[in-house]
Amino acid sequence: MLSSGAIGSPHLLLLSGVGPAAQLQSAGVPVLHDLPGVGQNLRDHPSATVLLRVVGERPDVQAPAIQVGLRYTVEGSYLRNDMQISPILMSSEHRPVQVAINDDDNYLGISCSLQLALGAGELRLTSPDPHVQPFLDYRYLTHPFDRERMRQAVRLAVHMAAGPAFKDLVIARVLPTDADLATEDALDDWLMRNLGTSHHVSGTCKMGPSSDPLAVVNQYGRVHGLEGLWVADASIMPDCIRANTNATTIMIGERVADFIKAGK
């Protein structure tokens, strides 16, 4: 099962009757193999965007905006390089869907993306129909340390946007508002209303030993308890890497393909 992401493989496994037995039965799928970890351990890079109205004309959607970024360790964090801050185009897929933006104006986003979130979510089957999308419960910021780090990152991005390097560019900060920044509780509330995915979903077919109740595949990508079935995509990562997932997913596919050819 060679696929491009961490949603397709667990969805296909669940539809095929491989996964948590109770969930399969409730969705009307006959249980082929009870494997509790399928769809569990959903990992991602939760992201929130500081939105600025800026001077100039709106750049083309293909403009090379994400050429620079700040990768750093949040103050007080024991996890190295656990935050990434970078500019994003508001004409791209990262545009906050909940914010009404005047398309005649020019906007810049500063994205704050948590790299090693401690919270984990779940992908659940909702129907035996393969055309019905599974339910993704990201459970962002359910861990207090994740909320703390995101608050710090957003405040840092707001501070940078108010600095001298941006003074000739920024007309106004749109989000978060001063009221959103007034207290930790207010900022938490804003984060929960504005947080989104970095499109780096991982971990839903976790690699690990058979003794791990959440492990779905072994070190070769082979599904535990079944013959002739492998998974090779971002879903087998035990955690989301501290980077975009594309290159690592390509490597996983090539490596598992070699294992299959070698009879692993």
Supply the pLDDT for residue 247.
94
Cis peptide before 176 (omega within 30 of 0): yes
Q: Tokens 């004309």 belong to which residue?
A: 57
- 94 annotated active-site: no
Q: Which domains does the chain have, with CATH numbers?
A: 8-42+201-261 (3.50.50.60), 47-119+140-194 (3.30.410.40)
Q: What is the pLDDT of residue 68?
A: 78
Q: Which residues of 154-168 are buried (b: 16+ CB within 10 A; e: fewer)?
A: bebbbeebeeeeeee
Which of 11, 45, 94, 200 is labelled catalytic? 200
Distance between CA atoms of 159 and 122, rounded to whole angstroms? 34
**pLDDT score, position 60:** 72
Total H helices, total E strands in the chain: 6, 10
All residue ranges of the chain with pLDDT < 50 are 1-4
Q: What is the pLDDT of residue 56?
A: 86
CA distances (Å), origin 78, targets 39, 147, 259: 28, 15, 35
